[in-house]
Amino acid sequence: MSEVYVDGTTPLNATHMNALQQKVEKGANNGYPSLDSGGKIPSAQLPSGVWVPLSSVGAASGVAALDSGTKVPVAQLPAGTANGVASLDGTGKVPSSQLPATTGGGTFTVNQTSHGFSVGNVLTLSGTTYAKAKADTAANAEVVGIVDSVTDANNFVLRTVGKITGLTGLTAGTAYFLDPVTAGALTATEPTTANQVSKPLLIADTTTSGYFYNFRGQVISPSLLATVATTLPGSPVDGQQAILVDSTSTPTYSWLVQWSSVASRWLFIGGTPVVKRVETSETTTSTTFADLTTVGPSFTVPRAGVYVCLIGANANQNTASNDAYIGLRAGSTAATDLAAFRNISSGSQNQVSIATVFQTAAVVASDVLKVQYRIGGTGTAQFLMRSLQVVPVYLT
């Protein structure tokens, strides 16, 4: 009897004999499988489940194979189809057709009949209608996006953020702001005028493209500190002050005024009056207010408004019981006796007097305030050391 197994090596002893399975264990639970007539394990002895033939591995309608890294090869993954994975185009990018539509950023299509927009127009919303934005007021500068492309007369693509192309005339590296003059336009010049809006929107990377960002705008506030100038600010805010002069280098008057939004006018706070004088002694026999040979004194007002005037002169009449009058002509409003100084001559001798009178005049810009003269009755009136002082009550 042989003392080794059929392999010719393993000893045929009690230890190895006890390790052998008995024939009755073939095909039994916890035993070993049998083989059918084809040399295969019968299906009844295989665990339940789905068994796939090797011929279906990596084949259509089969199962995926695994590569050497135990991963499914890319070639066996569905690409660009529903419930699959995205494919890449020739540039290595996911095609836009496989990207979801955006609603809160990027670009989206807008339908608006006869919109009239072109690429690069900056837009705002007027109710539910898109319109060109403008940095002249805070409301007009509420930007929602920039026209990225125009599909047709009734449809366009609005970009709310990101890179835009198809523009013209840009300088790379330059920041562009919403234009305060031309609606829908960009400008490289930042607005600085009071009440306009400084709103940066785009940084150019080439002459035709740039990165659009809807940065928060800043309304430009005017300074409330008084500034000295020969004209008053054009768009004042309540409480703003200004000093109006006739010359910034050698002024003959200076008026401090403050804008009142309630009154819609510049209220005079203080300052030096305009002082005009004519020293020459001259006469008149006119019985209506008229100029003397040397006209005035007079003053051309720089701004419409109401002014207080102080007029005066040395005056006499060479005929007893007759009068000499000093009055003020304000623009087209003739001088009247009701707002004039009257000097009455007593007896047959000349009488010399110094006359002063306040008068309020409402005039428009460039009107002339002018002192005029006349006699009452007969004779000749003489006037010298004539003067006119002017300060505003308010300016409009």
Q: Which domains does the chain have, with CATH numbers?
A: 107-219 (2.40.300), 227-272 (no CATH), 274-395 (2.60.120.760)
Nearest to 101 by CA among 167, 166, 163, 157: 157
pLDDT for res 80: 62
Nearest to 312 by CA among 392, 389, 374: 389
Q: Is the pLDDT confidence value at 360 over 60?
A: yes
Mean pLDDT score across all residues of the chain = 83
pLDDT for res 212: 95
Nearest to 110 by CA among 159, 70, 168: 159
Q: Is the pLDDT confidence value at 317 over 90?
A: no
The torsion angles phi and psi of 43, rounded to 5 degrees, stand at -60, -25
pLDDT for res 294: 95
pTM score, whole prediction: 0.46
pLDDT for res 149: 93
Position 336 confidence tier, pLDDT thresholds 50, 70, 90: confident
Position 100 confidence tier, pLDDT thresholds 50, 70, 90: low
DSSP string for 25-55: GBTSTTSB----TTSS--GGGSPSS----GG
**Inter-residue contact 197 to 190 (CB < 8 Å):** no
Omega prior to 297 cis, within 30 of 0:
yes
Q: Is the pLDDT confidence value at 69 over 70?
A: yes
**Inter-residue contact 160 to 219 (CB < 8 Å):** no
**Inter-residue contact 284 to 293 (CB < 8 Å):** no
pLDDT in tens, 14-61: 676 666 767 777 777 777 777 778 778 787 777 766 566 667 666 766
User: Within a 10 A sphere around the Cβ of 47, how many other Cβ atoms?
Assistant: 5
- Token pair listed for 157: 């693509």
pLDDT in tens, 137-183: 999 999 999 999 999 999 999 999 999 999 999 999 999 999 999 99
pLDDT for res 16: 66
Position 11 confidence tier, pLDDT thresholds 50, 70, 90: confident
Bigger pLDDT: 159 or 93?
159
pLDDT > 70: what percent of the chain? 79
Mean pLDDT over 99-107 rounds to 61
- Token pair listed for 361: 């005049």
Using CA atoms, how far apart are residues 258 and 270, in angstroms rounded to an integer? 10
- Token pair listed for 30: 């916890």
Position 349 confidence tier, pLDDT thresholds 50, 70, 90: very low
DSSP string for 83-145: TSB----TTSS--GGGSPPPSSSSEEEEE-TT----TT-EEEEETTEEEE--TTSTTTT-EEE
The helix (H) or strand (E) run that includes residue 377 is none
